[in-house]
């Protein structure tokens, strides 16, 4: 089940790493986007862990400027 959506892969990966650190499995799905359009990446968790994931994201949100900084620092060749 999707718990959060992002407009870029690096931001999705930052939050995925946070949930992984908490022991919550969370594959990231970034389907190819049409040319000249931003794609949307979804962060998925097992339905039985959705409440845990949402609680973690609400109690320890990653600030937008922090997501931007981490995304810009990430290796653009990494696949999500």
Domains of the chain: 2-73 (3.30.70)
Pull the structure tokens for residue 26: 């969370």
Rounded distance between C-alpha atoms, residue 78 and residue 80, angstroms: 7
Summarised one tens digit per residue, pLDDT across range 55-68 is: 988 875 566 677 67
Confidence of residue 73 (pLDDT cuts 50, 70, 90): confident
Summarised one tens digit per residue, pLDDT across range 2-45 is: 999 988 888 888 899 999 999 999 999 988 877 766 678 999 99
Report if pTM > 0.75: no
């Amino acid at each position: 089940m999707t718990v959060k959506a992002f407009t870029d892969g690096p931001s999705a990966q930052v939050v995925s790493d946070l949930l992984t650190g908490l022991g919550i499995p969370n594959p990231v799905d970034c389907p190819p986007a049409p040319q000249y359009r931003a794609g949307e990446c979804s962060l998925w968790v097992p339905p039985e862990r959705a409440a845990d994931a949402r609680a973690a994201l609400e109690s320890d949100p990653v600030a937008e400027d922090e997501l931007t900084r981490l995304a810009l620092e990430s290796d653009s060749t990494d696949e999500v």
